[in-house]
Structures are given as C-alpha cells and as structure tokens.
Structure 1
C-alpha cells in the first residue's frame, strides 16, 4: 500500500494494525495536509456487521468537536476499500510513554483531566467509548491529549447493533459488567480510565491474570493493591478517586465524568 493512492490520499507510511483495520499516514493531495487513513481490513470488508461497526465509529466521532478527541474528517469508499479519514496526531501514545516507567503525579493528573474532559464531551453526545486504554490515548507534541479509536462506541439513544451479551473491548481495561457481557453505560468508561490512571502511577495493571479467564476473574473478584504501596508521593485524594472509579458495582463509582473531573481538580500532589 505504501506509495499507492486511494481516492485523493497518497499512502506514505503504515502507522498500525488492529483486528478490524489498518491505519496509514497519508497526504490529502487536494487540501495538502497530512492525515491518518483508517482502512477496514480486507477480511472484514465483506462482513456486513463489521462494516456497520466500522462506519458507526465515523458516525459517532463525527458528532464530536473537542480538543481532546481526534478529529474525523470524512468516511469514504474507493478502490474497493472503506476508510475513515482522521487528523494525524504527531506525538506519542500513552503506551509508549509508559515504557520508561510510572509518570509523575502532576503529569498523571494532567493527562487524566484532559482525557476525562474528552470523554465528558462524548458522553454529553450520548456516546460511550467502551475501549479506553493507554493505547487509545495520544499525547501530541504540545502536550494535548487526543482520544483515538471510537470503534466500539455505542450510541446511547439508538439500538445497539452488536449482538446481545457481546464482550467487546480490551480485557485488562474492561469493567466487571463489560467483562461478563452485561449492558454498559458511561460508568464503564469511568472504570477504564481508572485502570489507565492506576497504570500511569504504578506501571502495572491493577488486575492480574495469565490468560483471559484469569484476568476476568481478577476484575470481578480482586481488589487492587493500594497505589501508595508503590510510591510515597501518592496524594490520598487521588488514591480515593481511583478506588471509587474502580468500584466493582457501577452504582458505587462516580455518577459521571464531571464528578471525576471535580475530584481530580482537588488533587494537590505532595
């Protein structure tokens, strides 16, 4: 694909590949700008459900205009391919950033606040992300968080087109209700952000497992070790905030992302 042209987009680099799509860096030759092209994988192209889910991502994100959400420009079909055209974020993923180890508390609070603001905007538009993880959080060269990949997004006001009890998402970041295929709401994103915050502060996952079934059992049954046991500079209000976000029962979590933001704004690193 490198060097080829799809519609008026010239492919210049492969950025990544997932189970449903391949993402390329490309040049929009009409507008002379660099974009990211998310192309539905060939093996799923003939799968109607996969096409619906892929196009639903574009439908969901196209409704959102927020500085902490990666902009979607358009969805198109050309050369027998279906693709989404997005802003190309220059920077690094949170996953890459965590390769060097846990982050400073101030930085964790900043990244968490920006992510929470982006998710709050999505929730106000009746959209749940359902796959929040460090790999879907980019930090651009100016330090601005961009949330990626609304590929599992659920439009709350419309009938869910995924099959009943479908387990969709990335297992280590799944809420208990998501892990067992129960209906989800905005508090699933609150849980997943709590897992990301735990990882940023400790460098490890709060739940353990050698395989999927063990990981799900840990999510359902285990209480995470206190973050204060990993680092001496952990502010108690931040510890309490994350513990609340990771409550097994969603009714015990923050009611909405606005409440998470208020808790984070009260954190004073020691």
Structure 2
C-alpha cells in the first residue's frame, strides 16, 4: 500500500491498525495537505454489511464539527491499481501527537493533567451526543493528545446513530472489552451512558495506570465488569480528590440509570473540584496580603492625620510666640530696705 496512489491520495506510511481498519499517513495531491487514510484491513473481503458499517462511520463523524473530534474530509471507494480491487476509505484530519494509550504506559497522570484531558474528551462526546451519535468504543487508543495539547477523539467506527437500523450481526460484540459497559456485554441497546461508563474506565486508568476491573482473558474481564464492583480508587491512589473519586464511582455504576445522565453532568462534576481548589488558593493567598494592606492603610491614615493636624497645633503656638512683647515700667523701691538700694537702677 505504501507508495501507491488511491484516488487523489498518495500513501506515505502506515500509522496503525485496529479491528475496524488500517490507518496510513497520506498526501492529498489536490489540496497538498497531509491526511490520515483509514482502509478496511487487507485480506478481509468487504461484504455489503461491512461496507455499510464502514460508511456509517464516515456519515456519523462527518456530521460533527468540534475541536475535540478529528474532522472527516472524505469518504470514497477507489480501485487499488495493483490488486484491481475496490477499497473503501475515509480521509480524515491527521493529528500529530501521541495516543492516550502511549501516555498512560509511562505512568499515572497528575491530577490537573487528568482533569485537562478528561474535560476535552467529555466536551467532544457531549457534542456528538447532542447530535444523537454514540461512540461506543471510547478507549485510550482512540484518544490522541496533539502537540499543542488539544485532545482529539478518533474512530467513530462503532458509532450508532439514534433511530438507525442496527447493522451489527446478532451476538457479535464489537469494541475493546476492558472499556465496554455492562449493557454492551449483555448485547443490549446502548445510549450515551455507555460512553459515560467507558470514560469512567479511562478516568480510572489515567489516575492509577491500571484498570478498575480485572481479568486474565476477555471472558473473565467481561464477567468482572458485569458482576464485580470496581476497585476502590483510594486504595490505589489515596491522593485523588473525593470529587474525582465520586465521579469515577458514578460513571462505573452497573445500572446505567445511576450514572450521570449526560456529559454535561460529567463536566459539572469535573469542574467542581478545580473551582474549589482555585477559590481556596485565592482565599489563602489573599490573607497575608490583606493583613499587609490593612497595616499599610492604617499607617497611611496616621501619616495623613499627622500631616493635617500637626501644623494646626504648632501654627497657633508659633503665631503667639511671634506676637509676644515685653513691657518694662518704672521700678520703684517701696521697701525702704537699704540692702536693695541700687536695684531700681540696675533693672531700668
């Protein structure tokens, strides 16, 4: 495939492969831009059902315009010149960066980093849910962190449009087992609360580096998800704020009616803790500053009072001193004492 030209896209390198397709880096020779091309896996005969499912991914994602969702540019079928077979593909935005899966492999996220990623994913999913689109395969491998920090959700290949006829074959379960909701495992109908469950698993994994349910193989994992409580996040990482711990527990409720009803509720919970922390920091930082401000204000008032009052006190004294006069009158000796004879002349 590398080096071939499909339609007007020149395939340059393979980026990855998943259950629903192979992704390549390519150049759009018409618009001269880099894109990501997603094809059905080679070697798999594309039945009409598979083609319909692949087309659904493009149709669902093409409806979405949001900073946290990878943009779909094109959907088509083209003849592979070497194999003379038709290949269905999607041309989408190429996001430079690393997957959340790669980032988690290096260890748990800090709290603020977790909130930063979680809020962007929730906002992207909220936009999709408002348009009746459920992702159904939220997992770290489908979340890309761009070089500028922008988070993008990829692969709406399992998206289910509300009211659309199901194409998935009866009894066949799609999605990554560790992130599947209990209702997905049971083969029941899913809605946006299934994405909320999956996001809860991603949240747990970002904070701890581990999964909330355990299983050595897919069936054991499915049993754990359907029947066992999630691991207490506080036992794995005690410093997680209660707000995030509570949100994680709520997202992972077995009964979907007990989960947050929408991504808006998830966002409200996520925003609660950082807001409290910011307000606490502001209050804490203002206390010593306020003391200094009050002290300076008092000192300034004293200085102003002194500047205004002291001249008023001193000025009258000074003016009185300037007007003082000494009068000397004739001095007469009325004592007739001979011992003071001569004093009148000395005084005068």
TM-score (normalizing by structure 1): 0.97
Tell me which residue corresponds to 2:121.
115
Matches within 5 A, 1:27-106: 27-79=27-79, 80-106=86-112
Matches within 5 A, 1:1-270: 1-79=1-79, 80-268=86-274
5+ residue gaps, structure 1 = none
5+ residue gaps, structure 2 = 80-85, 278-348
Secondary structure at the residue paired with 1:11? strand
Higher-helix-fraction structure: 2
- Counterparts of 2:250 and 2:18, CA distance in 1: 31
- Kept in 1, the 8 Å contact 2:40–2:46? The answer is no
Deviation at 1:190, TM superposition (A): 0.1
- Counterparts of 1:46 and 1:212, CA distance in 2: 26
CA RMSD of aligned residues (A): 1.3
Q: Which moved more, 1:38-47 or 1:195-204?
A: 38-47
- Between the two structures, name the one with larger relative contact order (CA 8 Å, sep ≥ 6): 1
Secondary structure at the residue paired with 2:91? strand
- Counterparts of 1:211 and 1:32, CA distance in 2: 45
Q: How many residues in Structure 1 have an aligned counterpart in Structure 2?
A: 270
- Counterparts of 1:231 and 1:42, CA distance in 2: 43
- Counterparts of 1:219 and 1:197, CA distance in 2: 16
Secondary structure at the residue paired with 2:43? helix
Larger radius of gyration: 2
- Counterparts of 1:104 and 1:165, CA distance in 2: 40
- Counterparts of 1:117 and 1:45, CA distance in 2: 37
- Kept in 2, the 8 Å contact 1:93–1:136? The answer is yes
